[in-house]
């Protein structure tokens, strides 16, 4: 799990981190029931590309306030991330349903998808 300084954590109130399989299940249930747009960033602490894209993901969470942002480390949520084959993987939800998926880095591609989702 990524360590955040307290000041940094407070800046990203629109991002939630799944710290276990159970917390990821709770977050997914919340996404389905709330019907709010959401994006889940599936990554890993050992993934260089994930570590490079994570700061941009945090910044985008501050720009797109109407979208719920979630980070899930595949090693901390192993049972519920077996379907993830590449890191990072971004999954986009609208009205409780997955509507898009993006593999790999690309801040512009990610921002474009978030704009379409919002």
| pTM exceeding 0.95 | no
pLDDT of residue 11: 57
Q: Which contiguous run of DSSP H or E holds residue 97?
A: strand 97-103
Residue-wise pLDDT tens digits, 80-102: 999 999 999 999 999 999 999 99
Domain count, the chain: 1
Asked if the structure places residue 9 within a domain, the reply is: no
Which CATH number do you get for residue 25?
3.40.30.10
Asked if the structure places residue 4 within a domain, the reply is: no
Asked if the structure places residue 1 within a domain, the reply is: no
| Residue 47 annotated among the catalytic residues of the structure | yes
Residue-wise pLDDT tens digits, 52-89: 999 999 999 999 999 999 999 999 999 999 999 999 99
> Can you tell me the distance from the alpha carbon of 58 to that of 62, in angstroms, rounded to the nearest whole number?
7
* Whole-number average pLDDT of the chain: 90
Could you tell me if 92 and 38 are in contact, meaning their C-beta atoms sit under 8 angstroms apart?
A: yes
Asked if the structure places residue 33 within a domain, the reply is: yes
User: Which residues constitute the domain of residue 82?
Assistant: 14-117
Catalytic residue among 38, 50, 70, 102: 50
Q: At what angle do helices 48-63 and 107-117 cross, to 10 degrees?
A: 40
Asked if the structure places residue 5 within a domain, the reply is: no
Catalytic residue among 24, 31, 47, 84: 47
| Residue 77 annotated among the catalytic residues of the structure | no
């Amino acid at each position: 799990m990524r360590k955040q300084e307290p000041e940094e954590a407070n800046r990203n109130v629109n991002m939630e981190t799944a710290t276990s399989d159970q917390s990821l299940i709770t977050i997914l249930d919340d996404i389905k029931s709330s019907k709010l747009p959401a994006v889940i960033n599936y990554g890993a602490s050992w993934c260089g590309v994930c570590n490079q894209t994570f700061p941009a993901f945090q910044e985008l969470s501050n720009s797109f306030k109407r979208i719920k942002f979630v980070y899930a480390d595949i090693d901390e949520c192993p049972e519920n991330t077996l379907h993830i084959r590449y890191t990072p993987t971004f999954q986009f939800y609208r009205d409780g349903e997955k509507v898009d998926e993006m593999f790999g880095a690309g801040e512009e591609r990610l921002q474009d998808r978030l704009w379409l989702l919002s």
